[in-house]
Amino acid sequence: MRIAVTGLAGQVVQSLVERGPAAGHVILPVGRPALDLAGGDGAAIRAALAAVRPEAIVSAAAYTAVDKAESEPDLAFAVNAAGAGHVAQAAAALGVPLVHLSTDYVFSGEGTRAWREDDPTGPKGVYGASKLAGEQAVLAAQPNSAVLRTAWVYSPFGANFVKTMLRLAASRDTLGVVADQVGNPTSALDIADGVMQVAQNLADRPTDESLRGLFHMTGSGETSWAGFAEAIFAASAGLGGPSAQVHPIATSDYPTPAARPVNSRLDCAKLAAAHGVRLPDWRLSLAGVVARLERQQEEAR
């Protein structure tokens, strides 16, 4: 399939570009300046997407600076809510299915069980609120959509927790890492595989309502940020790469402008039942990405 994806350099975009050919898809990234989600120009967004003649669209571009969003709410909403809505309107106008990415930050983080799609939302910050508004705009504009909420995304590309931990470990013996927030680390490469399967399902079964609407899609298994860091260093040390001692700290010891959900875990059973998609165990995928980052480091030396 010809799959247009919004954004040029994001973690998910680059993962789709890498994984697309093996899955038999042509991935067509469309981003700034041709497609600017902040511009409020729906016709321009539609024209940019129409130009690549897609059979499906993946909406992966977003304003993702969680803390900065607290001081730039207008821009966060322009991109994540209005911009996402324009992409969905374009998909509807072009008559193609849409896969839109959203986030665990739409939830408050209360309670101890994994969040399900029909649980009440309650974002704690601007980013989560803007993404929630985006979900609603997407589903209103294009019912032929699957909105996939994911979380704790890392990859060999862009900026992410795994790369930050490895960078810090190169110069420090001990790192304080938050131990009282739990969630599901998710490789963007796995997201790419899942997104393509969902897009194919939407295209193959255009009248199957069970494939449309909200879904959760994260790596299998859960941990805390401190547990995630320990797993990163264990994988890295096993390859002779940098590692550090993890000192568990509380969220209150690491204040950030935007509050994070304490319990970020997403229940992905609905996606498995409807789409037959279940992402691999987070430790397996992490080992692959850490090995790749180590190889890149060695090649750069």
Residues taking part in catalysis: 127
> Hey, what are 252's tokens?
């209150």
For the bound state, the minimum distance from the C-beta of residue 72 to ligand NAI, rounded and expressed in Å, comes to 11
Q: How far is CA 91 from CA 56, 117, 127, 293, in A?
A: 8, 23, 24, 36
For the bound state, the minimum distance from the C-beta of residue 59 to ligand NAI, rounded and expressed in Å, comes to 7
Largest CA distance in the chain: 56
CA distance 152 to 149: 11
Query: Applying CB under 6 A, which of residues 82, 98, 103, 219 lies at the interface with ligand NAI?
Result: 103
Q: Are 105 and 124 spatial neighbours (Cβ–Cβ below 8 Å)?
A: yes
61 binds ligand NAI (CB under 6 A): yes
CA distance 218 to 25: 22
By beta-carbon proximity to ligand NAI, the closer residue of 32 and 239 is 32
By beta-carbon proximity to ligand NAI, the closer residue of 8 and 92 is 8
62 binds ligand NAI (CB under 6 A): yes
Per CB under 6 A, the segment of 20-28, 48-56, 151-159, 172-180 that binds ligand NAI is 151-159
Q: Are 213 and 148 spatial neighbours (Cβ–Cβ below 8 Å)?
A: no
Report the site for ligand NAI in 200-239 (rule: CB under 6 A).
none
By beta-carbon proximity to ligand NAI, the closer residue of 153 and 290 is 153
- φ, ψ of residue 224 in degrees (nearest 5): -95, 170
Instruction: Give how many residues touch ligand NAI by CB under 6 A.
Output: 28
52 binds ligand NAI (CB under 6 A): no
Per CB under 6 A, the segment of 2-10, 118-126, 226-234, 280-288 that binds ligand NAI is 2-10
Query: Applying CB under 6 A, which of residues 1, 27, 37, 146 lies at the interface with ligand NAI?
Result: 37
> Hey, what are 61's tokens?
């571009």
278 binds ligand NAI (CB under 6 A): no
Provide the mask over 4-33, with x wherever binding to ligand NAI is found by CB under 6 A and - wherever it is not. ---xxxxxxx-----------------xx-
**Residue whose C-alpha is closest to residue 172's, from 234, 255, 239, 246:** 246
CA distance 93 to 275: 25
* Sign, CA torsion 169/219/60/262: negative
182 binds ligand NAI (CB under 6 A): no
Q: Which helix (H) or strand (E) holds 164?
A: helix 161-169
Binding site for ligand NAI (CB under 6 A): 7-13, 31-32, 35-38, 60-64, 79, 101, 103, 131, 150-153, 158, 188
